[in-house]
Amino acid sequence: MTEDEFRTELAARGYGEPRSFVFPPDADGEFHSHEFSAMVMVTEGEFRLGFEDEIRVFEAGEWCEVPAGTVHLEQAGPIGATILAGTK
């Protein structure tokens, strides 16, 4: 998916304008949840979402949704990660 396609999909699903986040190499976050849903696209590097029973790996051009209240952690691969995230 391209960045333009991602922005179009965000709008179609009712998400707000995306913000960019940069994760340093091998970033390792804590388990947490949000009061909002997020739709995320990786623009550079490798982004990992960890759940209680699995870790999903996303590379540039791939995207996912994380519903509000989902317990997860955010990690980056060895070169870090840059993502775009829209919320609702």
Q: How do residues 49-76 score in pLDDT, each as one tens digit?
A: 999 899 999 999 999 999 999 999 999 9
The pair phi, psi for residue 67, each rounded to 5°, is -65, 150
Asked if residue 48 lies in contact with residue 24, where contact means CB atoms within 8 angstroms, the answer is no
> pLDDT over 90 for what percent of the chain?
99
Question: How is residue 6 written in tokens?
Answer: 């991602």
Q: What's this model's pTM, rounded to 2 decimal places?
A: 0.91
In b/e form, how buried is each residue of 11-47, taking b as 16+ CB within 10 angstroms?
Answer: eeeebeebeeeebeeeeeeeeeeeeebbbbbbbebbb
User: CA nearest 62: which of 28, 39, 78, 32?
Assistant: 39
Question: Domain 3-87 maps to which CATH number in 3.40.1390.10, 3.50.30.10, 2.60.120.10, 3.40.50.150?
Answer: 2.60.120.10
86 pLDDT band (50/70/90 cuts)?
very high
pLDDT level of residue 80 (50, 70, 90 thresholds)? very high
